[in-house]
Chains A and B, each alone.
Chain A
Amino acid sequence: MSDLLTLPTRRDEAFRYADIASLETLWPVAMQEIRVAAGQSDSLALVLDGAAADARDLSIVLEDGASFDLHLLNAGSAYGRIAVEVRLGKRSRFHLGAAQIAGGDQTVEVVTEVRHAEPDAVSTQVVRSVLAGHATGTYLGRVAVARGAIGTDGSQSIRAMLLDRTATANARPELEIYADDVKCAHGCAVGELDPQGLFYLAQRGLPPAAAKKLMLQAFIAEAFVGAADEEALTQAALAALEAVL
């Protein structure tokens, strides 16, 4: 994807909403390669919560029967981009749980390409974004099912919460299916916090920021369910949340 030496432009689909000026300072982005051997399991939790712009590029190859859990927190105070390319072997399993939290004029994005190359592999993606101020949060995710990859099960659950009407959420879950007998589902929703709920919490004594944090906690937590370091990821996400509320 982005291991080319030429800086991409916004005409490139995978960079359509990217902060190109920030990306230029990070370019070229080194590709981090991960390979999980047949029948093995592995996991990675990647947290971008620093003050400087950051971009990561992951390439994951799952051999037959391998399993990989990837958890991402994209919540730094500048541009943050995480691109993930996954190739699934026979009966392998990939799970992505990602949370993006941004405020100010920030841009954050998760871009995935999950390729079901062989039969009977399962991929699940859960992405939750909380966007305040003039922030832009993007998820571009393609699930590609190759010819012959029958029995594929791919799902994408993408949700974004806008804390201000000036924030932007882009979500583009894509399916590209060249096989019969596959199960692919994608769901996508962009919403706002329920004002009734916020008033209920305020009436019990919670100031607005505390009320919003409480209501968003469960939303964010969905991205980290089942992670080995679920508690630490959730705490880091809540700290990032406090910064944008």
Chain B
Amino acid sequence: MLNIQDLSATVADKPILKGLSLTINAGEIHAIMGPNGAGKSTLGYTLGGRPGYEVTSGSVSFNGEDLFALEPYERAAAGLFLGFQYPVEIPGVSFVQFLRESANAQRKVRGEAPLSGGEFLKLAKEKAALLRMDMDMLKRPVNVGFSGGEKKRAEMVQMGILDPKLAILDETDSGLDIDALRICGEGINAIMRKPDKAVLLITHYQRLLDYVKPDFVHVLAGGRIVRTGGAELALELEEQGYEAVAA
């Protein structure tokens, strides 16, 4: 599904990713762990196409397409979802309006018919219930006045509605209390653990991985993947720390 070959990227002319390679197949859940400043978030943003994140070498194919030939909104329509570490507030625009327009913009690029108001609301209700989020919250302006945990749950509701092929979730577990962590974890499983989908979890901690069991765990340090293993690698990291394991 996603094939990253020798990817290097800079932010403000500073090299962050330095020859990172990673292959993710359909049906797999991968976790990337690593110390602060290793380049974890940069990887997510670079794949999403955030302005200011310059690809200096390497290539990424996404379901056979050259990812970097696509604009950010085209990457979304192609099925790439980026769960933000810090979801952005948009005053004056409700989640319902924003998500319906987003979903229909994606459908348009894919040549599908738009969802009617009724169809969309039914879908939104279903996904909000999955994340135990009150539908009234989706009538509020996007992320405005939401707590850290609510923002993350709202990200998962968005993921459910937009139904991507690949979700890159950047520290979805940060800012969550114990119950919200479980709800988000279960939400990720319900939405994304399918044979035709894949997930890349970016996280500092093992705790989310108790709920979303990864098939592969990678350690990112110094802009490249320095070690890959199974779920047990996360436990090893938790016990021994990045320095020992990444050395």
Which residues of A are interface residues toward B (Cβ below 8 A)? 194-197, 199-208, 210-211, 214-215, 217-219, 221
Indicate if the CB atoms of B92 and A217 lie closer than 8 Å: yes
Residue B66 interfacial (CB < 8 Å): no
Residue B84 interfacial (CB < 8 Å): yes
Indicate if the CB atoms of B48 and A203 lie closer than 8 Å: yes
Shortest Cβ gap from A241 to chain B (Å) = 14
| Nearest opposing residue in chain B for A213, CB measure | B101
Interface residues of B in 78-93 (CB under 8 A from A): 81-82, 84, 87-93
- Asked, given contacts A202-B76, A204-B76, A210-B105, whether A196 binds B88 with beta carbons under 8 Å apart, the answer is yes
Q: Which residues of A contact B90 (CB under 8 A)?
A: 197, 200-201, 214-215, 218
Q: Which residues of B contact A203 (CB under 8 A)?
A: 48-49, 72-73, 75-76, 81-82, 84
State the majority secondary structure of interface residues on A. Answer: helix
Q: Which residues of A contact B103 (CB under 8 A)?
A: 205
Indicate if the CB atoms of A204 and B48 lie closer than 8 Å: no
Query: What separation, in Å, do the CA atoms of A194 and B76 have in the docked complex?
Result: 20
Q: Which residues of B contact A205 (CB under 8 A)?
A: 73, 76-77, 102-103, 105-106, 109, 162
User: Could you list 10 A-B pairs, sorted by A, with CB under 8 Å?
Assistant: A195-B51, A202-B72, A203-B76, A203-B81, A204-B99, A205-B109, A206-B102, A211-B73, A214-B97, A214-B101
Indicate if the CB atoms of B73 and A208 lie closer than 8 Å: yes
Q: Which residues of A contact B215 (CB under 8 A)?
A: none
Query: What separation, in Å, do the CA atoms of A219 and B103 have in the docked complex?
Result: 23
Query: What separation, in Å, do the CA atoms of A217 and B109 have in the docked complex?
Result: 23
B interface residues, tally (CB under 8 Å): 32
- Asked, given contacts A200-B88, A215-B93, whether A207 binds B73 with beta carbons under 8 Å apart, the answer is yes
Q: Which residues of B contact A206 (CB under 8 A)?
A: 73, 101-102, 105
Indicate if the CB atoms of B98 and A201 lie closer than 8 Å: yes
Shortest Cβ gap from A213 to chain B (Å) = 9
Query: What separation, in Å, do the CA atoms of A203 and B91 have in the docked complex?
Result: 18
Q: Which residues of A contact B203 (CB under 8 A)?
A: none
Query: What separation, in Å, do the CA atoms of A204 and B142 have in the docked complex?
Result: 13
Point out the residue from B72, B158, B162 that lies within 8 Å of A199, measured CB to CB: B72
Q: Which residues of B contact A196 (CB under 8 A)?
A: 88
Query: What separation, in Å, do the CA atoms of A49 and B97 have in the docked complex?
Result: 26
Query: What separation, in Å, do the CA atoms of A220 and B93 have in the docked complex?
Result: 12
Residue B122 interfacial (CB < 8 Å): no
Q: Which residues of A contact B51 (CB under 8 A)?
A: 195, 199
| Nearest opposing residue in chain A for B161, CB measure | A204
Q: Which residues of B contact A197 (CB under 8 A)?
A: 88-90
| Nearest opposing residue in chain B for A218, CB measure | B92
Residue B50 interfacial (CB < 8 Å): yes
Residue B71 interfacial (CB < 8 Å): yes
| Nearest opposing residue in chain B for A210, CB measure | B105
Shortest Cβ gap from A204 to chain B (Å) = 4
Interface residues of B in 145-181 (CB under 8 A from A): 158, 162
Query: What separation, in Å, do the CA atoms of A135 and B97 have in the docked complex?
Result: 30
- Asked, given contacts A206-B102, A210-B101, whether A200 binds B84 with beta carbons under 8 Å apart, the answer is yes
Shortest Cβ gap from B42 to chain A (Å) = 14
| Nearest opposing residue in chain A for B107, CB measure | A205
Indicate if the CB atoms of B50 and A214 lie closer than 8 Å: no
**Besides the contacts A202-B72, A203-B72, A215-B93, what 4 more A-B pairs have beta carbons closer than 8 Å?**
A197-B90, A200-B88, A204-B162, A206-B105
